[in-house]
Amino acid sequence: MTVGDPLSTDASELRAQAQVLDRSRTLLHDAAADLRAPSSDLSDSELDDMIEHAAQVLSGAADGIADSLCDLVGFVTSLADLVERDSA
């Protein structure tokens, strides 16, 4: 993912990034709840399936968060540059 000038990004793009972060948050909470669920009643196959699914969810959520953080870093850096220019 490349980061352009985040200050020139329109509001819809920023809202889309917020949605990615929120969806990733939800997925991470759900996966964590699945992993905390009692597993004594599950067969080995069911447990393996649950762990595989949780790993896929965590991987996808981590990718979404990483992409959004990349944009956030660029945005905050641009804000810092703007504040620095205004204070000079």
Percent of the residues in the chain that have a pLDDT greater than 70, as a whole number:
90
Residue 38 domain-assigned? Answer: yes
Residue 10 has pLDDT above 80, yes or no: no
Residue 34 domain-assigned? Answer: yes
Q: Quote the CA–CA distance of 25 and 23 in Å, as a whole number.
A: 5
Residue 47 domain-assigned? Answer: yes
Residue 53 domain-assigned? Answer: yes
Residue 30 in tokens: 């759900």
Q: Whole-model pTM?
A: 0.56
Residue 41 domain-assigned? Answer: yes
Residue 1 domain-assigned? Answer: no
Residue 49 has pLDDT above 70, yes or no: yes
Domain encompassing residue 54? 12-87
Residue 31 domain-assigned? Answer: yes
Number of domains in the chain: 1
Residue 6 domain-assigned? Answer: no
